[in-house]
Amino acid sequence: MEETKQGKRALTTTENATLNKMFWLSHCVFLGFNMTKMEANGFTLTMAPAIEEIYHDDPEGKRDAYIRNQAFFNTHAVAFNFIAGMTYAFERDHKAGELPAQTIDAMKVSLMGPTAGMFDSLFFNCLRVIGAGIAMGLCAQGNPLGVLLFIFIYGVSQSVLKYILLRLGYTLGASAIDTVFESGLMQIATKAASILGLTMVGAMAATTVSVPIAWTLGSGDTAVAVADLLDGIYPGILSLAIVLLCMWLIKKGARPMQIILGIVAVALIGAFLGIF
Amino acid sequence: MSAATAGFLCGLVYFAVYFIDNAFMSWDCITRPIVVAPLIGLVLGDPFTGVIMGASLEAIFMGISAIGGSIPSDAISGSVVAVAYAIMTGGGQSAIEAGLALAMAIGTVMGAVNSLVRVLRGSLAPYYEKLAAECRPVKFFVMNLLILGVTTLPVASIVGIGVGAGVDVLQAALDSCPAWVMSGIAAAGSMMTAVGFGILLSMIWSPSIAVFFFVGFVLTKSLALPSIAVAVIGAAIALFYFFIEKDIIDAKRVGGSSEGAPQMAVPANSDEDFFA
């Protein structure tokens, strides 16, 4: 592991090869997408070349790295590459013993929320609408070129940016670590990143987790919706409760599968009884 | 062309665009109506109608996206059935209008079917975790492709059968399913995300900073701040913490600089919170 003291340095052949492989695999963001961990599988796949390179002589570290990069992940598919590039740099320093694993998790968690918002508005709400607008004009006249134009404006452009951002993330990640590491502030940086990470998990939980209660007490005009009662205490209090319950169960050693089956069972029984 | 052949071709197009975009592109681009509709037109032998309808369908489904993982209406199946209906009933202006009127209804029905598939995919998360821990990226890739294919097949089949047998059959099949099963499945889907957040939280949770999870939740839920705004607030707090702690370290270092190397001596111990 060579030292990267200061300034920019050219990427080595190995790094270049790994980044190229990561670029191609980063098109698998939505492969294996699921509601439990969202883009976790895409992230694991994209990180695979980096993990194989960094931990080629360390089976134990490799296994830990695969599990670490299988955590919940969700952002826009283009911003995805920036974070993947940074994670590559972070994993390299983790292997060198300079960076606690917690910092990698905290960095990923704190970056995915804001990048998702930024890139969703850039691509989905802006570029897609522009592309579709142009294409719709052509297609409405029966010109099939509109379709190709749309794929080019909204699709190919994503890949171009994915390529650039992956490399940018890697370079920035490496230099950011050097700066913080040289001043011996890693523990504080980790805690600061965790503060941001926790805030963002709270924000994401507030928008994506919901417990749709359809239960009403009483009937007719006097009926009271239980959801309104609970929201009266605090809006989304049940979402908060279920996230914290899941964390508690996992800390107690429950396996995710057990929790998921539990949720499906509760949801079906609840729906049968008219609670959901 | 017989209805059965048309149904098969439509199912095939659905499967192809969904599988290829999710597995190899992650652009959310070739699954848009403006691409799907001309493709259906092409395989059913009337590309012109497909292109024209693509423009209208893109406008109809413009606001509907996969952001956050919950998709209210399935734009692909809506487009497939709409174009197939228009072409199979003879094309022309009135057939196109009838097809367009169908699109959103079919999309919504298929959205319900998709939520079934989502629950199935979400429940596989623990399996992926085990798979990742095996450190075999090629197997991980192949299994992901296989699972995506197998879970897409039923939806593609329903679309194909729907086109082949007529759309009434689709509606009837869904109506025969008790309402509580559908709402239970929908509830399970929206609660499942909590598991991913639970796992995430258990990794970065520490009592001294746990309160920031609630800060993020409240900022989003009560103040309805966008995630970028929450990130800025979180980052401000994190940076503030970082610089205060840094000042303390600097102060200590100035005080105790008589011993040890002038550069830095901290890193060796910084592994301590590795297992925290």
Identify the residue among A22, A23, A27, A30 best suited for mutation to test binding to B, counting B beta carbons within 10 A and taking the highest.
Answer: A30
Query: Are B144 and B212 within one domain?
Result: no
- Whole-number pLDDT of residue B102: 77
Answer yes or no: do B212 and A34 touch at CB < 8 A.
Answer: no
pLDDT, tens digit (0-9, with 9 covering 90-100), for B31-71: 999 999 999 999 999 999 999 999 888 877 776 554 434 45
Nearest-5° angle of CA A250, CA A253, CA A255? 70
Domain-embedded: residue B137: yes
Write the residue in B29, B181, B212 that is nearest to A195 by C-beta: B212
Write the residue in B38, B122, B126 that is nearest to A35 by C-beta: B122
pLDDT, tens digit (0-9, with 9 covering 90-100), for B201-218: 887 888 889 999 999 999
- Whole-number pLDDT of residue B200: 77
Least confident of A24-33, A239-248, B90-99, B200-209: B90-99
What six digits make up the tokens of B71?
Answer: 């998709």
Query: Are B136 and B78 within one domain?
Result: yes
Give the C-alpha separation, B96 to A120, whole Å: 32
Domain-embedded: residue B125: yes
Phi, psi of B23 (to 5 degrees): -85, -40
Query: Where is pLDDT greater, at B252 or B168?
Result: B252
Query: Where is pLDDT greater, at A174 or A105?
Result: A105
Least confident of A84-93, A123-132, A265-274, B60-69: B60-69
Answer yes or no: do B191 and A267 touch at CB < 8 A.
Answer: yes
What six digits make up the tokens of B173?
Answer: 């099949």
Chain B residue with CA closest to A183: the answer is B264
**Chain B residue numbers touching A160 (CB-CB < 8 A):** none
* pLDDT-based confidence at residue B1 (cuts at 50, 70, 90): confident
Query: Are B22 and B55 within one domain?
Result: yes
Please give, rounded to a whole number of angstroms, the shortest distance from the CA of A11 to a CA of chain B.
24
Phi, psi of A38 (to 5 degrees): 50, -110
Query: Are B152 and B219 within one domain?
Result: no
pLDDT, tens digit (0-9, with 9 covering 90-100), for A40-90: 999 999 999 999 999 999 999 999 999 999 999 999 999 999 999 999 999
**Chain B residue numbers touching A116 (CB-CB < 8 A):** 227
Chain A residue with CA closest to B65: the answer is A124
- Whole-number pLDDT of residue B174: 63
> The complex's ipTM?
0.76
Write the residue in A42, A192, A247 that is nearest to B239 by C-beta: A192
In terms of average pLDDT, the best of A188-202, A214-228, B68-82, B116-130 is B116-130
Query: Are B94 and B140 within one domain?
Result: yes
- Whole-number pLDDT of residue B219: 92
pTM > 0.80: yes or no: no
Identify the residue among B227, B246, B266, B275 best suited for mutation to test binding to A, counting A beta carbons within 10 A and taking the highest.
Answer: B227
The number of folded domains in chain B is 2
pLDDT, tens digit (0-9, with 9 covering 90-100), for A158-178: 999 999 999 999 998 878 766
SS3 A218: coil
Domain-embedded: residue B273: no
Mean pLDDT of chain A: 86
Distance of CA B275 to the CA centre of its chain: 33
By CB neighbour count within 10 A (0-12 exposed, 13-18 middle, 19+ buried), where does B220 fall? buried
Query: Where is pLDDT greater, at A114 or A104?
Result: A104
The answer to whether A91 touches A47, Cβ cutoff 8 Å, is yes
Query: Are B134 and B218 within one domain?
Result: no
Asked if B237 is an interface residue toward chain A (Cβ–Cβ < 8 A), one would say: yes
- Whole-number pLDDT of residue B173: 67
- Whole-number pLDDT of residue A184: 65
Asked if B249 is an interface residue toward chain A (Cβ–Cβ < 8 A), one would say: yes
Q: For residue B79, what are the domain limits?
A: 3-193
Domain-embedded: residue B64: yes
Q: Residue A100, CB half-sphere, CA atoms under 13 Å: how many?
A: 25
The answer to whether A267 touches B184, Cβ cutoff 8 Å, is yes
Query: Are B118 and B69 within one domain?
Result: yes
* pLDDT-based confidence at residue A118 (cuts at 50, 70, 90): confident
Query: Are B135 and B230 within one domain?
Result: no
Neighbours of B197 (CB within 10 A): 26
Write the residue in A102, A235, A269 that is nearest to B273 by C-beta: A102
Instruction: Reply yes or no on whether the pLDDT at B254 is more than 80.
Output: no
Write the residue in A72, A120, A192 that is nearest to B200 by C-beta: A72
The answer to whether B56 touches A146, Cβ cutoff 8 Å, is no
Neighbours of A199 (CB within 10 A): 30
Domain-embedded: residue B154: yes
Query: Are B167 and B210 within one domain?
Result: no
- The structural domains of chain A, with segments of one domain joined by +, span 13-203, 210-272
**Chain B residue numbers touching A212 (CB-CB < 8 A):** 183, 186-187, 190
pLDDT, tens digit (0-9, with 9 covering 90-100), for A14-30: 999 999 999 999 999 99
**Chain B residue numbers touching A3 (CB-CB < 8 A):** none
Query: Are B32 and B77 within one domain?
Result: yes
Give the C-alpha separation, B148 to B125, whole Å: 13
Query: Where is pLDDT greater, at A99 or A4?
Result: A99
Identify the residue among B64, B185, B193 best suited for mutation to test binding to A, counting A beta carbons within 10 A and taking the highest.
Answer: B193
Give the C-alpha separation, A87 to B236, whole Å: 23
Query: Are B228 and B163 within one domain?
Result: no
Please give, rounded to a whole number of angstroms, the shortest distance from the CA of B192 to a CA of chain A.
6
Query: Are B178 and B226 within one domain?
Result: no
